[in-house]
Amino acid sequence: MALEHLNPKEKMTIYLDSCIFQDLKKEENSILLNLIKNDKSQNIYCYSEAHLFDLTRDSSDKKFVDMDFIESIADDNCYHYNKKICFEYLTPKEYYTSFEWPDSKNLKAEVSVFAGFENILKLIPLNFNDFISPEQLPIDCPIQFTELLSKTTNFYDFTSAMLDFTENLTNEQKSFKEFIQYLHKNSLVGNIYEGAGIKGFDGEKITNKQEFLQSYSNYFIKEGEQKYRYNLYTDMYNGLEIFGIVKGKPKKQKMMNLINDGRHSFFGGFCDILVSKDEDFLNKTKFLYNAYDLNTLVLNITEFNAYLKKFPTDESSILELIKEVRETNSKKAETEWEENGTHFYLKLLDKTFYKYFNAVTFVFENDIESYYFSRYSNSFSTGVLTKQINYVASRLIDELGEDIYKKHTFTPTEIVDGEWCGRNWVIGETIVSLNYSNGMYLRFYPIISKDEV
C-alpha cells in the first residue's frame, strides 16, 4: 500500500519503533511530537513488549522516565505475546511490573537463537560447481571469484562471507559482496538458493510467495516441533540476515538489536502503520510483510510526517452510508463466497465511515437481501479494539439516540467473556445492528416480523 492510497479518514492503529520514541524526546523534533499528540484524537498509538525489552537494557531508573514518555503517546495500548497475541490496556509501567524480567546482562538465552543456525547452515551442502559449470562462467570472470567457487562447500561458507556483526568488512567479505553482485548480473544466484532448499526466491526478490514462506520457514521448525508464530516470525526475520536474503549495514548488526528488531516487526504487523527511521529494519520488515501479503503501511519518518499533515474531519452519517450502498451495489465484488445456501458478496468502499468501515458485504438468503459494513484489512490483526468500538458506538448514539433496549453510552465493561449486547436501532422498515465478531460490523436488515424487533 502506497502512502497516496492510504485513507486518512480511517482510525488507524499506529506503531512507532523505539528509535522514533527516542528521537521524539529531542527538542528539534518538538513540532513532530506536537503533530503526533494532536493526531491521538484521530488515531490509536500502540506499543509492545519489544519496547520494554529495549528499555530493560538500561540498568538505571532512566528507563522509567522513558516508560512515561511512551505512555504520553501510546497511552495504555499494549501488545504482547503469551502463546497468542494479546492486547491489553496496560501502561508501560504496569506491563513492566507485571512480571520478572530476565537479567539484561545475561544474553545467553537471547543469543541462543543464533546458536543453531551455524549447524543448520553447515548441513546444507552448497558446491557452486553443482550449480555453475565452468562453461557458464563468462571469460571475464575474475580469478579470485573462481577460486572462491572452489572453496565453498556448504551454505555456511556462503553466508559467513556475507555476514558481519562487527564494524569492518574484511577484504574477503568485500570480495564476496562483489562476487554476489557479479552472480546477480549473470542471473546465477537463484540456483544457489534453490539448491539450499529456499524456493520462490531468485536471490533478489520473491518470485512465489507461497513457495518461499513454506520453504524458508522450514529451516526454523524442527521435525515434530510446534512453534508459536511469534518465535517463528522473529526467527525468519533474523534469518534474512543469516541467509543473506536482506542484508543490513555492518555497523547495525549487533545481536540484541537484530533480535529485538524482529519483535518490533512482528507487533507492527498487527497495526495499520509502522514507523521507523532505521533503514535496515524498514527493508527487512517490508520484505516479510510483502511475503505475507500484509498491507500494513511501513513508513520512514519523512513519510509519516507527510501523513500527519492530513487531518481529516469525520463526516460520516447513516444517510451517507445508505447512499454509499446504492453506489456500491453495481461494483464488482472484491470476494464472494457461499455458506449453507447463503451468498455473500464483499465490496470495497471508496470512503471510510466512522473511521472504521471501508467495506460492505451483501447477503442473499431465502430471497431476503441484507448487508453489513465491516473493515477490510490484510494485517496480522483479526480483532477490534474497544476504543474503536467506543468511537463508532458513540458516534451512532449521538446520531440515532438510545437503542431499542434503552441502551445509551457504551462502556467496556459491557463486553463479558468476549460477548457484547451491541446496539440496535430501527430506521423505518430496517433494523440497524452494531456488534462485533472478530471485527466490528454494522448490519442493516429488513424487519420480517415484530418478533424480530
Cα separations in angstroms, 453 against 277, 345, 354, 429, 441: 53, 26, 25, 11, 18
Residues 305 and 323 placed together within one structural domain of the fold: no
How many angstroms separate the CA atoms of 232 and 66, rounded? 29
Name the amino acid, one letter, at 289: Y
Rounded-to-10 torsion of CA 279, 281, 286, 291? 150
One digit per residue, pLDDT tens: the chain, 453 residues? 444 445 545 678 999 999 999 999 999 999 999 999 999 988 899 999 999 999 988 888 899 999 999 999 999 999 999 888 999 999 999 999 987 776 555 544 444 444 555 666 666 666 666 666 666 666 666 666 666 666 666 666 666 655 543 334 445 556 655 665 666 565 556 666 776 688 998 877 899 999 999 999 988 887 667 778 898 999 899 888 777 788 766 544 455 566 689 999 999 999 999 999 999 899 999 999 999 999 899 999 999 998 888 766 677 899 988 888 888 877 777 888 999 889 999 998 888 899 889 899 999 988 888 999 998 877 888 788 888 999 999 999 999 999 999 998 999 899 888 889 999 999 989 999 999 988 899 999 998 754 444
Q: Which three cell numbers stand for residue 278?
A: 532505521
Q: Are residues 363 and 437 in the same domain?
A: yes
Check whether residue 103 and residue 28 sit in a common domain: yes
356 and 427 together in one domain: yes
Single out the residue in 290, 313, 336 at which a domain terminates.
Answer: 313
CA-CA distance, 201 to 194, in Å (whole number)?
A: 8
Secondary element (H or E) of residue 357: strand 357-365
Grid cell 444517510 in the structure block, residue: 319
Does 24 share its domain with 72?
yes
Same domain, 332 and 368: yes
The predicted pLDDT at position 83 comes to: 86
Residue 73 within any structural domain of the chain = yes
**Domain end residue (candidates: 313, 344, 360):** 313
Residues 326 and 444 in one domain: yes
Dist CA 289 CA 303 (whole Å): 18
Q: Are residues 422 and 324 in the same domain?
A: yes
Regarding whether 284 and 376 lie in a shared domain, the answer is: no
Is 275 in contact with 301 (CB distance < 8 Å)?
A: yes
115 falls within a domain: no
In a domain, 226, yes or no: no
**CA 315 – CA 355 distance, rounded (Å):** 10
> How many whole angstroms from its chain centre is CA 234?
12
In a domain, residue 194? The reply is no
DSSP secondary structure code for residue 156 in this structure: H
Residue 193: CB atoms within 10 A of its CB come to: 24
Alpha-carbon distance of 442 to 440, in angstroms, equals 7
To the question of pTM greater than 0.85 for the whole model, the response is no
- Going by the DSSP 8-state scheme, the letter that residue 14 receives in this structure is E
**289 to 46, 270, 337, 356: CA distances (angstroms):** 19, 11, 26, 22
Q: What is the pLDDT of residue 326?
A: 84
Separation of alpha carbons 120 and 219, rounded Å: 8
Report the sign of the C-alpha dihedral through residues 434, 435, 441, 447, in that order. negative
DSSP symbols for 271-317: SSEEE-S-HHHHHHHHHHHHHHT---EEE-HHHHHHHHT--------
**Cβ-contact 212, 200 below 8 angstroms:** yes
Point out the domain boundary residue: 297, 313, 329: 313
The letter for the amino acid at 327 is E
Helix (H) or strand (E) holding 350: strand 342-353
365/430 same-domain check:
yes
* Residue 271 in domain: yes
- Each as own residue / partner, the long-range contacts of residues 190-195 (CB below 8 Å, 24 or more positions apart, any chain) are 191/131, 191/132, 192/126, 192/128, 192/131, 192/158, 195/125, 195/126, 195/130, 195/131
Tell me, yes or no, whether 121 lies in a domain. Answer: no
> Helices 209-217 & 229-242, crossing angle to 10 degrees?
100
Is residue 152 in a domain? no
Identify the domain containing residue 444 by its residue range: 318-452
- What nine digits make up the cell of 26? 529531542
- 349 neighbors 329 (Cβ within 8 angstroms): no
CATH code of the domain in which 255 resides: 3.40.50
Half-sphere exposure of 163 (CA within 13 A, CB side): 20
* CA trace torsion 127, 133, 139, 144 (10° rounding): 10
428 and 388 in a common domain:
yes
Examine the domain organization and report whether 278 and 392 are in the same domain: no
Q: Please give the pLDDT value at position 213.
A: 94
pLDDT of residue 119: 61
**pLDDT given for residue 110 in this prediction:** 46
Has residue 192 been placed in a domain? no
DSSP string, 380-447: S--S--HHHHHHHHHHHHHHH-S-TT---S--GGG-BTTB---EEEEETTEEEEEEEESEEEEEEEE-
Q: How many domains does the chain have?
A: 2
- CB distance 421 to 414 below 8 Å: yes
Cα gap 381→371, rounded to integer Å: 23
